[in-house]
Amino acid sequence: MSQKLVVPIELLKELEDAAKKTFPIECCGFLFGKENDGEILVKKVVHAKNRLESTTRFDIDPREIYNAVSMADKEGLELVGFYHSHPEFAAYPSGYDIEAMKLWPKEVWLIISLQKYETKFRAFIYDKLEPKEVPVEAK
């Protein structure tokens, strides 16, 4: 079954703003919503602190993950993915990203690239030992 990530335009704008605000540090956070017949619909974005404050990696405190997932559960939403930025690199998973994806193989990973001052969104899931691109649809 093919999958696609559907994100409301206003949430894509919010993610782009977050990436620009934290530049050159990678921003990161959570995507909450619902999955239905391969369509992953994002309904809410929750920003997280990149505790590495790195330009090339991110890490989220496990307590922050727990709190965000608990809050979303109370709202009837599911964790459908994570997002982070690549301030000066292409929107493709790094080796570090791929290692993190192995821990959360069912979630989608949305990467926001600001390379060459042009914002690009690409999404991936970890499938059979490698990242597989998932189309991103602005809605």
Q: Which residues are catalytic?
A: 26
Q: Is 128 exposed, middle or buried (CB count within 10 Å of its CB: 0-12, 13-18, 19+)?
A: exposed
Evaluate whether 55 touches 23 at the Cβ level (below 8 Å): no
Residue 54, both tokens: 């790195």
- Residue type present at position 138: A
